Amino acid sequence: MKKLKKTNPIRVMLVDDHPAYRKGMAALIESETDLTVVAETGDGRDALQVYRAKKPDVVLMDLRLPGLGGVEATLAIRKEFPDARVIVLTTFDTDEDIFRAIQSGAKSYLLKDTPDDELATAIRGVHAGKQILSEKLSRRLAERQQRPELTQREMDVLQMLIKGRSNREIGTALFLCEDTVKAHFKTLFAKLKVQDRTEAAISAIRHGIVHLD
């Protein structure tokens, strides 16, 4: 994959809150002759400013960040720079995470245990304007896309469910009568393809629809 003609290297920006990981990633990228790191930050809130200042060719973005999440940071960057090429690089891989990342405009989604050479290939591919998604993650994305969207109310109810609330309690909290809550659960069960509330809770957590933190 080495370029025969000497060209300007692809300028990469790293967004990850683990200093050690940034350091390792930087070393890894610099070890490729056609890649170089021009910017780093560990905080999602700084990502846009840093992008503005450095105008990198490709951004490697973690999802779980202090301050602003990776998805929000990506959205912010792409709002101002619609051509920004962002690769999400993370340890988490729920359907929702992948979906939201791609929705937010990320061109690729890689797991942190991706082999070095694949990462380099992905950076080059994304820089060239391609969409790079592994077999496995494409499948995940497809699965997520065929799942019906949840409405706001359904999300609210799900959120309360994760807090361990009963139908009555959920009703009180959301200013609804119990029957309404039950109605929402009915459609929720159908959409998530589950039989009861416990399965719904687990499914929601597993797919990343809700978070425990």
Q: Which does 124 bind (CB under 5 to 8 A by kind): DNA, its own copies, none?
A: none
Q: Decide: is 174 part of the binding site for its own copies (CB under 8 A).
A: no
Select 74 or 203, whichever has its Cβ closest to its own copies. Answer: 203
Binder to DNA among 137, 176, 204, 209 (CB under 7 A)? 176
Q: How many residues interact with its own copies (rule CB under 8 A)?
A: 33
Rounded to the nearest 5 percent, the helix, strand and coil shares of the chain are 50, 15, 35
Select 107 or 184, whichever has its Cβ closest to DNA. Answer: 184
Binder to its own copies among 162, 173, 174, 183 (CB under 8 A)? 162
Select 34 or 169, whichever has its Cβ closest to DNA. Answer: 169
Instruction: Kindly list the strands in the beta sheet with 86-90, ordered across the sheet, starting from the edge strand earlier in the chain.
Output: 35-41, 10-15, 58-61, 86-90, 108-111, 132-133
Select 27 or 53, whichever has its Cβ closest to its own copies. Answer: 27
Q: Which amino acid is at 24?
A: G
Q: Decide: is 211 part of the binding site for its own copies (CB under 8 A).
A: no
Q: Decide: is 168 part of the binding site for its own copies (CB under 8 A).
A: no
Written as one string, the DSSP assignment of the chain is ---SS--PPEEEEEE-S-HHHHHHHHHHHHTSTTEEEEEEES-HHHHHHHHHHH--SEEEE-SS-SSS-HHHHHHHHHHH-TT--EEEEES---HHHHHHHHHTT-SEEEETT--HHHHHHHHHHHHTT--EE-HHHHHHHHHHHHSPPPPHHHHHHHHHHHTT--HHHHHHHHT--HHHHHHHHHHHHHHHT-SSHHHHHHHHHHTTSS---
Distance in Å, CB of 179 to DNA, minimum: 4
Q: Decide: is 197 part of the binding site for DNA (CB under 7 A).
A: yes
Using CB under 7 A as the binding rule, the residues of this chain from 132 to 161 that contact DNA are: 149, 151-154
Q: Which does 18 bind (CB under 5 to 8 A by kind): DNA, its own copies, none?
A: its own copies
Count other C-beta atoms under 10 Å from residue 213's C-beta: 3
- Residues 42-81: x where in contact with DNA by CB under 7 A, - otherwise, as a string: ----------------------------------------
Q: Decide: is 67 part of the binding site for its own copies (CB under 8 A).
A: no
User: Can you give the binding site for its own copies, defined by CB under 8 A?
Assistant: 17-28, 91, 112-113, 115-116, 161-162, 164, 166, 194-199, 201-203, 205-206, 212
